[in-house]
Chains A and B, each alone.
Chain A
Amino acid sequence: MEYEIVIGMEIHIELGTKTKIFCSCPTEFGQDENTHTCPVCLGMPGVLPVLNEKVVEYATRAGLALNCEIAHFSKMDRKNYFYPDLPKAYQTSQFDLPICTGGDVEIEVDGVKKDIGITRIHIEEDAGKLLHESADGTLLDVNRCGVPLIEIVTEPDLRSAEEARAFAEKVRNILEYTGVSDCKMEQGSMRFDVNLSIREKGSEVLGTRTEMKNLNSFRALIRAVQYESKRQIIEIKKGHTIIQETRKWDDTKGTSSSLRSKEEAHDYRYFPEPDLVPIVLEPEYIEKIKSELPELPEAKKQRYIDEYKLPEYDAGVLTTTGVTARFFEESVVLYNEPKQISNWMMVEIPPLLKEKELSMENITITPAQLVELLKLVKNNEISGNTGKEVLKEMFNTGKNPGDIVKEKGLAQMSDTGELEAIIEEIVSANPKSVEDIGAGNEKAYGFLTGQVMKATKGKANAQVANELIRTVVARHLA
């Protein structure tokens, strides 16, 4: 029997506001424990939370970028549960009237395009951080309490780990473009929950699902989906039924284990938050935010294809993140050779970033420096191979390519007089090669070119050298 994996996702994203959702404490990551708190986010009695206007703006922007309807009327609710990561014993969230509903995102896996439905996006507060470091208790850091989140809930439209990943990456890409979040996975700015079930292929009925919470990297997402789908298929093949439960993914072990069953599942007893008033957004407000949306990845990609005549693949890679696209665009403004820039950005830069453990966000070279290098290559002042070396040196030292070429004497030898003398010497020293060429063996040219490159330490202009070798050999054969 053939099985089908059915996945729905919930993505939590921390918004990049300066302050928390309901109080004026800063949202900065990585500060000393419990130094960014006030009576509101500590859940003291008698305090009054007030909604941050930027949270409404960012959620609206995110919703529009993900093709959602923005609600004219939405409200906040209390979600009650007992867990010490929330001092109030409830999370302020949105229940039946979220700020955004009904969006979609197009993904592409193995050349197949597909729309993934978004059920809703709501705003809520993040919880604090529990540190399991004390010998006889659990420690709580409240700094993260009240950091604004949006939760994006999808329809069960995803069918594989690859689709889940493609969707998560696309959402990250779009939200990073809109500037509502830095989407830094390593800082927990983006976290995934996965609802997964298995059914017979072709069936319309959904199987019993399990939920895995707080996957905080694309790798964890993929591995958790692969593991859990395999586990469920094995259970079904054994004739066991799947139990509806929340499972915990252990990324170190690469396995998931049961956390709590549906019977113990939370009944959150939502009710309207009496301390916060409804949010009413007029069409003019929504239109204004819509008009301020930046060019989104899909539109940018198409523009790169049309305007810069780039292949679809290149355009896709260059628009993967906003910073990559900005680097490319700044380079193109300085130097109108989009394909050359694209090649170097796609092929030469990534391995150097990886080696230095950098990303496009903190890349150590500027578009102007890359352009200077590419001009040197284009004008044959240095060879492509030398260019790669110079680029590496630029990453190492931050120096300008022109200076590196001068300092290291890397300029290409195109002076025919100087080159011809070297070639004459090599050809004279290799009569066997000349003889072979005379006998019709063209391969011997390759050997001679190699010798010339060796003698000039690779600085000979390959095209000029090849022409000269042929002239000199012809003279010897005559």
Chain B
Amino acid sequence: MSLTREDVTYVANLARLEFSEDQVTALADQLGAVLDYAETLSGLDTSKIKATEHVLAVQNVFRKDEIKPCLTNEEALANAPESEAGCFKVPRVME
């Protein structure tokens, strides 16, 4: 199997997800199978193919450095579950 339980726990932690022991085992199997399948691509000879740095063929899309109107403070905070003193309020974080 290409994916260990440790890999799953590590990635879950990075994504701030919590899983039970059983779920970790199941995910290791399922995600491992996906990775194994993707691994079949490694069988192809790509030595003569240019590396793909970006999937889009478009380049250099820029905007001018010109100011446009912003949202008002009320509009910006309209969807915030919590706000205080004109700011978004989030659970207390350590610096």
Contacts and interface: CB of A to CB of B under 8 A. Distances in A.
B38 to A, nearest CB: 15
B66 A53 contact: no
A82 interface: yes
Contacts of B54: 75, 272, 277-278
B85 A133 contact: yes
A53 B73 contact: no
Interface string B12-49: 00101000000000000000000000000000000000
A160 interface: no
A18 B58 contact: no
B1 interface: no
Contacts of B56: 274, 277-278
B93 A139 contact: no
A56 interface: yes
Interface stretch (A28-36, A150-158, A178-186, A310-318): A28-36
A136 B63 CA distance: 41
Contact of A50 (B61, B84, B86, B91): B61
B30 to A, nearest CB: 20
Given A73-B53, A139-B84, A139-B88, A35 B70 contact: yes
B90 A140 contact: yes
A274 B16 CA distance: 23
A38 B67 CA distance: 12
B55 A136 contact: no
Interface string B46-87: 000000011110111111111110111100110000101111
A136 B92 contact: yes
A38 B71 contact: yes
Interface stretch (A19-27, A235-243, A321-329): A19-27
Interface of chain A, helix or strand or loop or mixed? loop
Report the interface size class on chain A.
35 or more
Interface residues of B, number: 36
Given A34-B77, A138-B89, A272-B54, A277 B59 contact: yes
A294 B55 CA distance: 38
A269 interface: yes
Contact of A274 (B55, B85, B91): B55
A422 interface: no
A132 interface: yes
Nearest to A134: B84
Nearest to A22: B63
Contacts of A277: 54, 56, 58-61
A39 B68 CA distance: 12
Contacts of A25: 67-68, 70
Interface in A250-292: 267, 269, 272, 274, 276-280
The interface centre, meaning the residue of A24, A130, A269 with most chain B CB atoms within 10 A of its CB, is A24
A414 interface: no
Contacts of A56: 62
B60 A42 contact: no
Contacts of B76: 34-35, 37, 42, 142
A84 B82 CA distance: 13
A137 B53 contact: no
B55 A18 contact: no
Contacts of A75: 53-54
A36 B61 CA distance: 23
Given A34-B86, A269-B14, A26 B67 contact: yes
A51 interface: yes
Nearest to B88: A140
Contacts of A131: 87
A269 B11 CA distance: 10
A425 B90 CA distance: 84
A397 B64 CA distance: 44
Interface in A289-335: none
B67 A18 contact: yes
A92 B28 CA distance: 30
A280 B60 contact: yes
Given A52-B63, A277-B56, A33 B86 contact: yes
B85 A33 contact: yes
The interface centre, meaning the residue of A87, A138, A272 with most chain B CB atoms within 10 A of its CB, is A138
Given A137-B89, A267-B10, A278-B56, 13 more contacts: A25-B67, A33-B86, A34-B76, A34-B77, A38-B70, A38-B71, A52-B65, A54-B65, A87-B88, A137-B84, A140-B87, A274-B55, A277-B58
6 contacts: A26-B70, A33-B87, A83-B93, A278-B54, A278-B60, A279-B59
10 closest Cβ contacts across the A-B interface? A139-B87, A24-B68, A53-B62, A54-B65, A140-B88, A33-B86, A84-B90, A50-B63, A277-B58, A137-B89
